[in-house]
Amino acid sequence: MSTEKITYFLYPRKSSESEDRQVQSIEDQVNRLKELAQTLHLEIKEILPEAKSAKKPYNRPVFTEMLERIEKGEANGILCWQINRLSRNPIDSGKLSWMLQQGILKSIQTIDRQYLPDDNVLLFNVESGMANQFIIDLRKNSKRGMEGKADRGWLPSRAPLGYINDKIEHTIVEDPERFDLVRKMWEMMLTGNFTPPQIRDIANDEWGFRTLKSKRVGGVPIANSVIYKMFSNLFYTGMFSWSGRVYQSGNHKPMITP
């Protein structure tokens, strides 16, 4: 290990994206890396946690600010769990590699190894390249999986109003609280006597209709944009559109006829 004095930013990262599901929590990363710093006698200037995905560049304000502060000389090392915590895209990986080669970054210390400016550049590039490739493969596999689901007659997306996603069977079924109410809205629309905003007002104000509640969204009255989107969605006829293609026979229960 280099004897030059190095001051580290501790950078723990975990996002809600699928590629990070198996990664230790930010708290676990911090605790374990602080233990490592104590063992290796590393000086930590500041802990800079971030809960953002690294698969796209320019997506992490804390990461960007950290590199800017390193370029200003506030610290010259990064302490992180693994290289894939720092980058999963070639732009950010290239920035880190260049800073290492220029000696702006004196050290990247992970839980199991250290990357130094004098190292063979291939070592860092192979590690970061593997993280980048993981995202590419994940995207391809996800796309193939969704296309296969659509071919089997199921919309590979969030169920529209009046339906719910069955997370166990990975299908779409009727929402027992809202299916009949949404069908009633369609019946009103098809009479030609009501406009979408009028139907929305009746549903919200007279029926007390509220959208399906999830952890972050829902549980609110129907918005104008939602009612117009509903009345132009093929899904209610038993068909569905996905990735530019119309699937004529979905397996879900239709609400109206074409």
Predicted pLDDT of residue 1: 43
Predicted pLDDT of residue 244: 83
Predicted pLDDT of residue 74: 96
* pLDDT, averaged across the chain: 87
Strand, helix or coil for residue 190? helix
DSSP classification of residue 22: T
Q: pLDDT digits over 57-85, tens only?
A: 999 999 999 999 999 999 999 999 988 88
pTM metric for this prediction? 0.51
Predicted pLDDT of residue 134: 55
CA 208/CA 111 separation, integer angstroms = 54
Q: pLDDT digits over 129-139, tens only?
A: 665 665 555 56
CA 222/CA 170 separation, integer angstroms = 26
pLDDT category at 3 given cuts 50, 70, 90 is: low
Instruction: Report the pLDDT averaged over residues 73-100.
Output: 90
Backbone torsions φ then ψ of 146, nearest 5 degrees: -70, -40
Q: pLDDT digits over 192-233, tens only?
A: 999 999 999 999 999 999 998 887 788 899 999 999 999 999
Q: pLDDT digits over 6-61, tens only?
A: 999 999 998 876 555 556 789 999 999 999 999 999 999 999 999 998 888 999 99
Q: What are the structural domains, with CATH classification, of the chain?
A: 7-139 (3.40.50.1390), 152-247 (no CATH)
CA 238/CA 112 separation, integer angstroms = 53
Predicted pLDDT of residue 145: 75
H helices of 41-120, in order, are 61-71, 83-86, 90-102
Checking if the pLDDT of 123 tops 70, the result is: no
